């Protein structure tokens, strides 16, 4: 069983504080167990639908610091509760996906 959780916080420090409080990362920002996988995406950009003078798509930043969390198990109730403020719905077109 795997559980994918999409995360967004104001910045890395804010996200790390939540992940630390949930017991998922250590003081260096690394997962504390081998059944916890974390990929940091940071800033995301999305196309605005406009094209610039050079024929390139114009993009805008998506607010927040983004990361994907994969648990190779079901999350505990405490983890779900701790992550509640930074968990977002699965994007229709995720920037990064896990290889199954």
Q: What is the CATH number of the domain that holds 39?
A: 3.30.70
Q: What are the pLDDT digits (tens) for 3-54?
A: 999 999 999 999 999 999 999 999 999 999 999 999 999 999 989 999 999 9
**Band (94; pLDDT cuts 50, 70, 90):** confident
Range of the domain at 46: 3-88
In a domain, 8, yes or no: yes
Query: Who wins on pLDDT, 6 or 100?
Result: 6
Label residue 85 exposed, middle or buried (CB < 10 Å: 0-12, 13-18, 19+): exposed
Q: The pTM is what?
A: 0.86
In a domain, 97, yes or no: no
How far is the C-alpha of 95 from the C-alpha of 44, rounded, in Å?
8
Number of structural domains in the chain: 1
The helix/strand/coil state of 32 is coil
In a domain, 54, yes or no: yes
Residue 80 near residue 18 (C-beta atoms within 8 A)? no
Q: What are the pLDDT digits (tens) for 60-69?
A: 999 999 999 9
């Amino acid at each position: 069983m795997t559980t994918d959780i999409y995360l967004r916080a104001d910045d890395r420090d804010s996200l790390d504080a939540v992940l630390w409080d949930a017991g998922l990362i250590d003081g260096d920002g690394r997962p504390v167990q081998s059944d916890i996988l974390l990929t940091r995406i940071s800033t995301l950009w999305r196309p605005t639908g406009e094209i610039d003078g050079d024929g390139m798509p114009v993009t805008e930043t998506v607010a927040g610091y983004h990361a994907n969390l994969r648990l190779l198990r079901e999350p505990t109730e405490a983890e779900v509760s701790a992550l509640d403020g930074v968990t977002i719905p699965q994007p229709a077109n995720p920037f990064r996906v896990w290889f199954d």
